[in-house]
Structure 1
């Protein structure tokens, strides 16, 4: 919300410098983004009158002008402007003057642009005539009457007078960031109310009383019917005759320009001015084009086509609210008027509309039509219905003030259910307890009154009735916040929290932190990627056609095809990270990400996706292979208390290299996949090195994790070891052999360590030798050879039965 300070002071006289004003407004809850000072880079630009215009002898597009600037003799200026005429009053930048620019397509410079005399095609020019843009105004706000040429002033000014002084150009404009819960601040009066409360000054409202000198009554010209009171809470209409369409006076144009709006003509400018003033959008119809002299507020027909003021045909749906006459639609309610009822140069009688439309309805319509306007941006946040009549009267008052028309008596006001302010009880001790201060009830009441709230005090309770414009005040805590921000957060004492409540991270948050610390310690860098991805990602990693991960959730309004769906796996994102690093000659990369994946929720009646948290780790570089990542993942799992995770060979996942991929299984549950990325996939991502990737179900890891540590005293008795070299078939997995050994080793078997796998000529084809060291120990005695031999023999029998393993003959 752009707030010109000069305009703001019409409602409340805040006599503070701009820095102090901004500081205090921030501390009372009004966040600001920028402060711009207009006119500060304009020097020696004066008012001039064009005395003559002659053709340039050597250039068809240039003319030679003589300008009276109240100097000893007229100034000669060569220009290419085509919109000037003899007698025009224009801004003249003399030799040595400074303007903000931009000039001749150059960017706007903070220090400004210096104008010097020179020659154009052999003819001397002692300055330049200025456009509004060259004086620092953006193209989007330059008045329509001179947006494509020199700024033609609307009346006579003293010649030679500084343009800054003549037009009162110098002034500060603050850009306030208005949060969605404060739609009342999307208006000059709303911001003035905040300033008055902050600086304890009086707040004055604009004059809205109309003389209404027109012959006849408004109700004789127009009838209003609201067919959808659930979508239109109020509709106020007034009629103005004897309309004169012309350029607005400079004071009105200036305020619109500084507030970020382009002046069009007096009627349109007045409706925009009042919208900025009250926050209530208004619209003016040419009453000649309102068929049947009747306004009806109703929804559109499905598929109905309507042409808006911008000349665009728009296809409507049956839940979009329209303003209609007896034959057709004339406006899309709360969004934009129609081309069939816009104000024309010969318009004589107009209908002024001030209505209140349902916020959700306007937001939905604006979004579906991809049409967002100043009006819709206000309606979609919510507007007080009680503003409509006052704003409509204000428009008519300004029309009378500018002699732009004659207002008829009365109005048509359809208001099915009046909005009433609801009172809330606020406890004095509760306010002080929450804020940590010690204010009296009288001090609180004073703050409420500064915010235009009515109060009734009884004991420890203040019954507060806010103005109906404050749609955000509903419960006691809302009023506690009002006390806090107006009192001043900077005045509140700094205290330590009291109470016995325990605050801390959840178990999942703690394990996430531990995971990040562990992976970082293992040499991996954390990355974060977007949840919105390209649907081509699952194709790039060759995901199986029937995989659950292919059931992607598509966004309704994506920024583009590359961010049009929600991810179901982190692998494509991780490969993009590897590819980006590889293309920048980063030879050694280890990265991990913990992020959310999204799946179609098939539970009936639940429209929300199912969210699962995943963890992805990937490496590439010199001497990096499957076992490099397997070691990192194993160490990471052990840190979470997940020991002896099994790696089951997997051959059918096309993302990974055949024979170099495994499924991770723990406690009979699949928790992830690890493998070397398939060369075809690497080629699609432009990665010219072997890359290994692992994706884990982080939610399952949290469920299975056990980081609690138990103390066990050092053993008192010695251990005995036995080495077993077994000949087994090639297809037998070491993990299966280990499982058999542990299952039959009983309490005496302390540890099993693989120390050799051998394949060679000494073995039969299709077999291999695996060698283990078995460590035996008893906690209460020294073991005997007989005890160990008995257990060892039992294990050998189980191995022979379970996987046909036999002791290898040395």
Structure 2
């Protein structure tokens, strides 16, 4: 809802409060003001001028040389290309030095050799939206009425010296879809009175009942219909002030009759419709449900096929309007209209919503009917419109109205105690204070001891129960004035569980290592469901899948991460590193909910390091990803409990993959994606891992032990072992650590040789072993003794011999 600040001042005294201050107060009372727009912001130097002479430009067919009087007695020459510019017009002139929207500054110029000292403006050039400019001026300049004073501020004459508040209304606040509704709200906030429009209609001796009869077959959809007849109407443009109020609210002006009906819609929140009486085709209005297959051409020149769900206004035979949504082209008010049949009706929201939805037509009228209009404003709105039609269209209102009234609406009556109000709000209000707040909203109240009985006006259909009254008291008392209290009883501050803390550490570590978090679908296809799964289970199918690609619940995170890499690679993002923490879904029993287990997976491809100046490039490999994993295990305090073992799995490279164990329990895998899969996905070498995050984070961490910095020197021994090619480095390391005893502190591989000089089926692996004792300096004899045990154990358990 767009609310003109100047218009609102007609109903509520806003002296001493700026639009911005008012917007803040309205927002704090419960209706969000999404913005305040100053219509003439950034525009200056635009005045009303008079075109005293016009002649064709000698060097341009589409340009005219105009002599313009700006009201100071002197003429200025302005070149204008508008097709409708002419002698004798009063127009908006941006003088030299003026500023237009977009900080466009007007300077002296020459156009095809002729001097131009300003610009004659269209409404669009003055900041009007094109869709809100009247059809007569949608192309070309705007022409002021003949009585407009020369030299005055053109924006003030156009009533653009205004601010517009944009209200973000929730569906329950239909009452504020009108200026009067907003006025009631603002008056309650500011503790001021509402000044309602004074309606006095003079009628002629003829009676409306002699011109029209009204019948309603669909009484449930239309319990109240009011028709008035206005004769001798003269179609013309609306007054500028009325056009300005419509455009400020986002409605395009048409002519005085249509504009007045739209004006009342904005003022009262009551939609009206004007029919050309002479084009109606009969002296009858019949409201009914449409016949199946019946057709109507609406005002937008679209032919629409109707069903029995749609409510229509007919002339007794054919539809002349889609009730509450849009009128028909066969009864449209046009330039030749002289007699107007004015409709003001109460339609139920459900009937209008159905028509609006089925035909894709959402009008200002339908939006209000759908949320609910005030039944008590149906007649006053019609009278107010009739008054304006006499003033601004020269109409003569026939005596009386023709009505069908089966409407039964009673104001809601709610009784509430002051104790409940205070208990819910946490306040200590007196009965008189609560009564005063409710009366500021124009609610009728009766107090008996601690009870307040409230009669809610029909315009506030959202208030039906005690809690609604509590909300009204609370928001007008001021949410900022409500005390902050903790819930009663035992309360404790929220915190993360140990599992959540560790998961957060995992995410922070991986992001610090250069991986981006991905969030992928939990649904996959049957073909991909079991790829890379840690546990072999049958996938769980959806009863109603949206597609074959999203038909089963996933058993692994890896396939979708590979899809992410493929997507990025196809867009020339070759180096990608991503991870995901998410659930996989394991079948338990038929027709039972699956078991959800949280996994951690990652995928990397492309270059890991690129230093172009130094000419360094490091592509990802198995050990890059393994190093990331080992850093994660170290961060979690689990590195000493982790081992890797050779591993083969479908979809992984048979020689570059490993199973990950935590205390001899398998928790996942790491490896290169099989070359065939890489080719299928059009990826370079790609490495992945997937782990059971639950097993990892629920693992017991050994107590942290601190060791003093060594005071005594260590001794290092390097050995090169010849072993079978099938023997893994992990197996050798395990034997060395077990045999080395207390003195062996560190073991690591530093070389692998499988060259021509090595016996077939053999390989050489070199280790560096570090010995030291924190209590004394080791002797050669101590080291030799421990080292010999290592060599003997290696020979006995693995067949390893020292390389000669």
Q: Structure 2: where are the runs of 5+ without partners? A: 532-537, 609-618, 661-666, 706-725, 727-753, 755-760, 762-796
Shift of 1:471: 2.2
2:407 maps to 1:421: no
Q: Partner residue of 1:185?
A: 176
Of 232, 249, 257, the residue aligned with 2:247 is: 257
Contact 2:521 2:560 in 1 (8 A): no
- 2:620 and 2:49 mapped to 1: Cα distance? 79
Going from structure 1 to structure 2, the CA distance change for 1:185 and 1:573 (only over 3 Å counts) comes to farther
Q: Secondary structure at the match of 1:295?
A: strand
- Give 1:126 deviation, angstroms: 1.7
Using the alignment, how far apart are the partners of 1:531 and 1:323 within structure 2? 53
Counterpart position of 1:194: 185
In structure 2, the CA distance between the partners of 1:91 and 1:2, relative to structure 1 (3 Å rule), is same
1:354 & 1:632 partners in 2: Cα distance? 77
1:322/1:333 contact within 8 Å kept:
yes
Aligned to 1:114: 105
Quickly say closer, same or farther: Cα 1:612–1:542, change in 2 above 3 A. Answer: closer
Gap change, CA 1:436 and 1:58, over 3 Å in 2: same
Q: Is the 8 A contact 1:305 1:315 kept in 2?
A: yes
Cross-structure match for 1:394:
384
Match in the other structure for 1:592? 580
CA change 1:305–1:121 in 2 (3 A) is same
Change (3 A) 1:260 1:679: farther
2:22 corresponds to 1:21: yes
Aligned residue for 2:601? 617
CA 1:348–1:531: 2 relative to 1, 3 Å: farther
Q: Give the direction of change, closer, same or farther, for the CA distance of 1:73–1:687 in structure 2 (3 Å limit).
A: same
Equivalences for residues 194-213 of structure 1 within 5 A: 194-213=185-204
2:435 and 2:445 in contact (8 A); partners too: yes
| Contact residue 172 and residue 371 of structure 2 kept, 8 A | yes
How far the C-alpha of 1:580 sits from its partner, in A, is 6.2
> How do residues 340-739 of structure 1 correspond to structure 2 at under 5 angstroms?
340-493=330-483, 495-502=484-491, 515-521=503-509, 574-575=561-562, 577-579=564-566, 587=575, 589-594=577-582, 617-620=601-604, 687-692=683-688
Matched with 2:93 is 92
> What is aligned with 2:721?
none
Q: 1:352 Cα shift? A: 2.0
- Contact kept in structure 1, 2:673 and 2:687, CA below 8 Å: yes
Q: How many residues align?
A: 696
Structure 2 length as normaliser, TM-score?
0.72
Contact 1:50 1:68 in 2 (8 A): yes
Q: Within 5 Å, which residues of 2 pair with 1:66-145? A: 66-96=67-97, 98-101=98-101, 108-109=102-103, 113-145=104-136
1:549 Cα offset (Å): 5.7
Q: Deviations over 1:695-744 (max 9, x none)?
A: 98x9xx7xx999698999x9xxxxxxxxxxxxxxx9xxxxxxxxxxxxxx
Distance 1:412 1:518, change over 3 A: farther
C-alpha separation in 2, matches of 1:682 and 1:243: 79
The CA deviation string for residues 595-621 of structure 1, in whole angstroms up to 9 with x for no partner, is 899xxxx99xxxxx9999986733216
Match of residue 217 from structure 1: 208
| 1:58 and 2:48 matched | no
**Equivalent-residue separation in structure 2 for 1:166 and 1:87 (angstroms):** 18
Q: Give how far 1:373 is off.
A: 2.1
Aligned pairs for 1:281-292 within 5 A: 281-292=271-282
- Structure 2 CA distance for aligned equivalents of residues 566 and 375 of structure 1: 46
Show the counterpart of 2:778.
none
Paired with 2:691 and 2:383, the residues of 1 have a C-alpha distance of 66
* Alpha carbons of structure 1 residues 59 and 628: separation in structure 2 relative to 1, 3 Å: same
| Shift in Å, 1:283 | 1.9
Residue 219 of structure 2 contacts residue 406 of structure 2 at CA under 8 Å; is this kept in 1? Answer: no
Distance 1:658 1:484 in 2: 69
Matched residues in 1 for 2:552 and 2:411: separation? 43
Quick one: distance in 2 between partners of 1:232 and 1:506?
A: 57
The residue that corresponds to 1:331 in the other structure is 321
Cα 1:380/1:515, change in 2 over 3 Å: farther
Please state how far the C-alpha of 1:58 moved relative to its aligned partner: 1.0
State how far apart, in whole Å, the 1-side matches of 2:320 and 2:594 are.
44
Aligned residue in 1 for 2:269 = 279
Residue 724 (structure 1) aligns with: none
Cα pair distance change 1:395/1:484, threshold 3 Å: same
- Picking from 257, 262, 273, the partner of 1:267 is 257
Distance 2:69 2:691 in 1: 79
Q: Distance in 1 between matches of 2:201 and 2:295?
A: 38
CA contact (8 A) 1:67 1:76 kept: yes
Higher-Rg member (1/2): 2
Q: Answer yes or no: is the 8 Å Cα contact 2:516–2:577 preserved in 1.
A: no
Any conservation in 1 of the 2:506–2:632 contact (CA below 8 Å)?
A: no
- Post-superposition offset of 1:200: 0.8
Which blocks of at least 5 consecutive residues in structure 1 are unaligned?
Answer: 102-107, 556-561, 604-608, 665-670, 715-729, 731-759, 766-806
How has the CA–CA distance of structure 1 residues 615 and 57 changed in structure 2, closer, same or farther, with 3 Å as cutoff?
farther
- State the distance in 1 between where 2:315 and 2:627 align: 72
Cα pair 1:675 1:694 within 8 Å, conserved: no
CA deviations 1:61-101 (Å, max 9, x no partner) are 011112222333322211111112322111122222x2323
| Aligned-partner Cα distance in 1 for 2:520–2:350 | 27
Aligned-partner Cα distance in 1 for 2:488–2:637: 35
Say if 1:248 and 1:525 are closer, same or farther in 2 by CA, change over 3 A. farther
> Shift of residue 628 of structure 1?
5.3
Separation in 2 of the partners of 1:253 and 1:481? 37
Cα distance change of structure 1 residues 301 and 153 upon mapping to structure 2, 3 Å threshold:
same
Question: Which TM-score applies when normalising by structure 1?
Answer: 0.72
Moved more, 393-402 or 676-685: 676-685
The corresponding residue for 1:739 is none
Please state how far the C-alpha of 1:33 moved relative to its aligned partner.
1.8
Q: Whole-Å Cα distance in 1 between the matches of residues 270 and 659 of structure 2?
A: 62
1:515 deviation in Å?
4.0
**8 Å contact 2:4–2:245 — kept in the other structure?**
yes
Q: Distance in 2 between matches of 1:565 and 1:374?
A: 43
Give distance in 2, aligned partners of 1:53 and 1:458. Answer: 78
Cα separation, 1, equivalents of 2:189 and 2:595: 45
Between the aligned partners of 2:344 and 2:545, the Cα distance in structure 1 is: 42
Aligned to 2:720: none
Q: 1:261 to 1:634 in 2, by over 3 A?
A: same
1:247 aligns to 2:249 (yes or no): no
